[in-house]
Homo-oligomer: A and B are copies of this chain.
Amino acid sequence: MYTLGPEFVDVTWGAGGAQSELTLQICTTAQSVAGLETCMHLTCTNMPREKIDWALKNAKQAGIQNILALRGDPPHGHSDWKAIDTGFAYAIDLVKYIREQYGDYFCIGVAGYPEGHIENSDRQSDFDHFVEKCKLADYVVTQLFYDCDLYLEWVKRVRAAGVQIPILPGIMPIQMYGGFKRMTTLSKTSVPKEVDAALEPIKDDDKAVKEYGVKLAIEMCNKLRAAGQKGFHFYCMNLEKSVRLILEGLEFVAPVEVAKPLPWNPSLAQNRKNETVRPIFWRNRTRSYVLRTEAWDDFPNGRWGDSRSPAYGDFDGYGVSLKFTPEEATKIWGTPSKIGDIHELFSQFCKGNLAGLPWCDKMAPESEGIQNPLSDVNLKGFLTINSQPAVDGAPSNDARYGWGPKNGFVYQKAYIEFFVSPAALDKLIKKLSVDPFITYYAVNKEGDMKTNVQSDTPNAVTWGVFPGQEIVQPTVVDGTSFMAWKDEAFELWMQWARVYPASSPSTKLIQGISDSWFLMNVVHNNYRDAGAIWEIFD
């Protein structure tokens, strides 16, 4: 979703213990790991005041600042909604309570029903309640609808009643004919005749229904847009593909400066809002990085600020695990028995022929231009897990390398990180020692460090120059971080080794690499010579 550049994402409230925990976890991950502005739903259903308190406290702690306050559906297995003791009967009560407890801290959204609430047959009292609710809220998201005229009429009435807050129409792309029918019937949603007519002949063709759903949503959005609508809320229902196609169809492509304010996704956790620097090592393991730096003080007063003291949290328990089951892993990586097999696997990964490696799911898009030389390096026995090409001032809106505000220029020093055998390392270091542009760190599992870097200050490997700003340098290489990272990097070999039966040839081979090889990073500091980094492997 991040790459689609939404203004915010929202996560439905999972009532009940484990479900509520899950909602909070998803929200926290979206907000602080993926850096998506997140809105958490909160419902009155089966929620005594204590649970509401608990949910709001945790949401605030996680940096969530947006709540969609809803009454909610009746509990599972019930057809009528009933308030519980010490709970709330209407969404407006919940909104009032949040405002009482948290003042303006939360941005509170409420639901709007362009066709009226199905449980209230008195349309006027229904509408009046809604207007009352809006007086306390910050924005409205509507129930799904398919009749744009009804929506636009309703918005007019709402505005005429003095409601000024933003209203987002709820667009639900049709995914399956059966589901669509069931839902519109249940919620008594008007379906324009032409929609029914278009669906009837294709109702048994799931693919065609989906395609029509996309087409219809595009038409609806264009119609609403023409009528002055500024924002849209899509009900993805975890089926984000249709939404992606709709956004493409609408040409709602987020400009580079919105989609990529920095070369990595900034966390939106409250304490990280000034975080502008990260080490390059965790580029493929953002979650682990964010969690291991969670305890740091305000950024940039953590590492790379004035105080360089904060230590990385322990990496155990932060998901140092393969993203594949042993079965999947064996299918992807086979049963390597000699070092050449490993070279080949890494090389194939660089060419895009492998579903992943323990250190990375897929090649970063910006590595596309260097697939071939990278693949060759791996065949030579330097097992790469992270790299970036040199960039000498690409425009900040460049499709591949761009990030940050408009009218700027972005730069990168060529970077490559790989595992290397002790013998090959010695040869390489001898070779690198004559090049004043090379800086490197190499370390084995035990922590024996070899480096030609004398200072303990970081090396900026990505930076951007923008009108009216200081230079932004969001990615660095530094020795202390590298030491923290190497524990994770070597542990991933061990995870791979455990895929195979103990004492099998594959386990021995992989464990041998983990025990004796070095993890090395090399920066070529002459970013104006894009090809220079490859010469070190000649």
Chain A positions near chain B (C-beta within 8 angstroms): 301, 305-306, 392-393, 406-407, 409, 411, 436-437, 439, 453, 455, 457-460, 463, 465-471, 473, 476, 523, 525-528
Instruction: Tell me if B301 and A409 are in contact (CB < 8 A).
Output: no
Closest to A408 in B: B525
Beyond A439-B468, A465-B527, 5 additional pairs, beta carbon < 8 A: A407-B525, A459-B468, A459-B470, A460-B469, A460-B470
**A528 CA / B527 CA spacing, docked (Å):** 16
Instruction: Tell me if A526 and B407 are in contact (CB < 8 A).
Output: yes
Closest to A466 in B: B525
Closest to A464 in B: B471
How far in angstroms is the closest Cβ of chain B from A334?
Answer: 40
How far in angstroms is the closest Cβ of chain B from A429?
Answer: 16
- Judged by DSSP, the binding face of A is loop
Find chain B residues with CB under 8 A from A471 CB: 460, 463, 471, 473
Among B409, B467, B470, B523, point to the contact of A528 (Cβ < 8 A): B409
Instruction: Tell me if B306 and A436 are in contact (CB < 8 A).
Output: no
Find chain B residues with CB under 8 A from A407 CB: 436-437, 525-526
Which 7 pairs, one residue from A and one from B, show the smallest C-beta to C-beta distance? A467-B525, A439-B468, A460-B470, A471-B471, A459-B468, A407-B436, A471-B473
**A527 CA / B301 CA spacing, docked (Å):** 31
Assess A436 versus B467: contact at CB under 8 Å? Given A301-B306, A305-B306, A306-B306.
yes
How far in angstroms is the closest Cβ of chain B from A477?
Answer: 9
Instruction: Tell me if B439 and A457 are in contact (CB < 8 A).
Output: no
How far in angstroms is the closest Cβ of chain B from A218?
Answer: 32
Assess A439 versus B467: contact at CB under 8 Å? Given A305-B306, A306-B301, A393-B528.
yes
Closest to A467 in B: B525
Among B305, B465, B466, B470, point to the contact of A458 (Cβ < 8 A): B470
**A457 CA / B62 CA spacing, docked (Å):** 28
Find chain B residues with CB under 8 A from A439 CB: 467-468
Instruction: Tell me if B465 and A465 are in contact (CB < 8 A).
Output: no
Instruction: Tell me if B528 and A468 are in contact (CB < 8 A).
Output: no
Complex A-B: 25 CB contacts under 8 Å: A301-B306, A305-B306, A392-B393, A393-B393, A393-B528, A407-B436, A407-B437, A407-B526, A411-B465, A436-B467, A439-B468, A455-B469, A457-B469, A459-B468, A459-B469, A460-B465, A460-B471, A466-B525, A467-B525, A468-B523, A468-B525, A470-B473, A470-B476, A471-B471, A471-B473
How far in angstroms is the closest Cβ of chain B from A517?
Answer: 24
**A393 CA / B409 CA spacing, docked (Å):** 13
**A527 CA / B393 CA spacing, docked (Å):** 11
Closest to A298 in B: B306
**A409 CA / B465 CA spacing, docked (Å):** 14
Closest to A411 in B: B465
**A439 CA / B467 CA spacing, docked (Å):** 7
**A466 CA / B413 CA spacing, docked (Å):** 11
Q: Which of A409, A469, A476 has the most CB of B within 10 A?
A: A469
Find chain B residues with CB under 8 A from A411 CB: 465
How far in angstroms is the closest Cβ of chain B from A7?
Answer: 21
**A459 CA / B465 CA spacing, docked (Å):** 10
Q: Which of A407, A437, A468 has the most CB of B within 10 A?
A: A468
Find chain B residues with CB under 8 A from A523 CB: 467-468
Find chain B residues with CB under 8 A from A469 CB: 455, 457, 459-460
**A411 CA / B407 CA spacing, docked (Å):** 17
Find chain B residues with CB under 8 A from A392 CB: 393
How far in angstroms is the closest Cβ of chain B from A115?
Answer: 43
Find chain B residues with CB under 8 A from A460 CB: 465, 469-471
How far in angstroms is the closest Cβ of chain B from A212?
Answer: 42
**A466 CA / B469 CA spacing, docked (Å):** 20
Assess A436 versus B406: contact at CB under 8 Å? Given A469-B457, A470-B473.
yes
Assess A437 versus B467: contact at CB under 8 Å? Given A301-B306, A306-B306.
yes
